[in-house]
Amino acid sequence: MFGVEHCPKLRRNKLLSTLSSEECGRICPHLQNVRVSAGEILCQPGADSGHVYFPVDCVVSLSHVMEDDSATAVGLVGYEGMVGIAHFLGGLTMPHSAVSQSGGSVMRIRADILRQEFGRGDRFHRQLLLYGQALMTYMGLSAACSRHHSLEDQLAHLLLQILDRVPSQEIVLTQESLAAMLGVRRERVNKAALKLQDEGKIAYARGRITVLDHERMAAQACACYGLIKMEYGRLLDAEERSEEMSVWCREQRDNPRPG
């Protein structure tokens, strides 16, 4: 029987790696391995892209675009998740854009096929709901962080979130990209990055950032970074509990309450 073990690419995305053999047999024939470049737009606000994306080795920023076309990142998606949760939550479109911040690979599937699989109520159904909850928690905490914490705190938070999602200890991002994700002017980002460098927390030069002291950066990022990391772990890494809940979901589907 065909399973995740037969496709190494699937193991590099946490959501796809949870597919059962039956789910894998139904979904895998429809998955396309697609290369994306830095700055490529995967989804536009209010538009139905027709696809959902499971990043393999790239980072995608979810940004809210204002009336003056300025944007602020409200979340990041990497190998742990997917772009396009609206397609299984029922809204079909989202109010934010999705832009690849680094070149790499994504696994793409048509949205209608994902919705069909979601409707089966099996294990993948449960994992998608858990991921949706984790992402919404991330967005909420990020909004609070941007309102109440310094730019240095926000930059440390953003860099660590990116670092958790790339297969490297070095982050390659331009000042323009960082400024766009933080919703501030480029000069302010440069000043904040130089301060972190002067404190020995990062090395920063020509769009290349290396975190030198992860512990101090985590402290700089305030409690938000730890809370988000803990919530993702609590929801997405509890393999046994997730399987128990999948069984419960199937029981509810097959034996619905009357009325």
pLDDT band at 248 (very low <50, low <70, confident <90, very high): very low
Q: Which domain holds residue 42?
A: 4-254
Residue 259 lies in a domain: no
Average pLDDT, the chain: 84
Residue 40 lies in a domain: yes
Tell me what the mean pLDDT of segment 125-146 comes to: 89
**pTM of the model as a whole:** 0.84
Domain of residue 177, CATH code: 2.60.120.10
Tell me what the mean pLDDT of segment 164-177 comes to: 85
Pairing type for strands 202-205 and 104-110 reads: unpaired
| 136 has a pLDDT exceeding 80 | yes
pLDDT of residue 200: 95
pLDDT of residue 244: 46
User: Which token pair is 40?
Assistant: 């490529």
Residue 224 lies in a domain: yes
pLDDT of residue 246: 47
| 12 has a pLDDT exceeding 90 | no
Number of domains making up the chain: 1
Tell me what the mean pLDDT of segment 154-172 comes to: 88
pLDDT of residue 167: 76
Tell me what the mean pLDDT of segment 127-156 comes to: 89
Residue 198 lies in a domain: yes
* Sheet with 32-36, side-by-side order of all strands: 32-36, 104-110, 51-55
Percent of the chain with pLDDT over 90: 42
Residue 30 lies in a domain: yes
Tell me what the mean pLDDT of segment 215-225 comes to: 88
Lowest mean pLDDT among 142-146, 173-177, 229-233, 250-254: 250-254
**DSSP one-letter string for the chain:** ---GGG-HHHHTSTTGGG--HHHHHHHGGG-EEEEE-TT-EEE-TT---SEEEEESS--EEEEEE-TTS-EEEEEEE-TT--B-THHHHT--S-SEEEEESS-EEEEEEEHHHHHHHHTT-SHHHHHHHHHHHHHHHHHHHHHHHHHHS-HHHHHHHHHHHHHTTSSSSEEE--HHHHHHHHTS-HHHHHHHHHHHHHTTSEEEETTEEEES-HHHHHHHTHHHHHHHHHHHHHHHS-HHHHHHHHHHHHHHHHSPPP-
Tell me what the mean pLDDT of segment 193-199 comes to: 94
pLDDT band at 252 (very low <50, low <70, confident <90, very high): very low
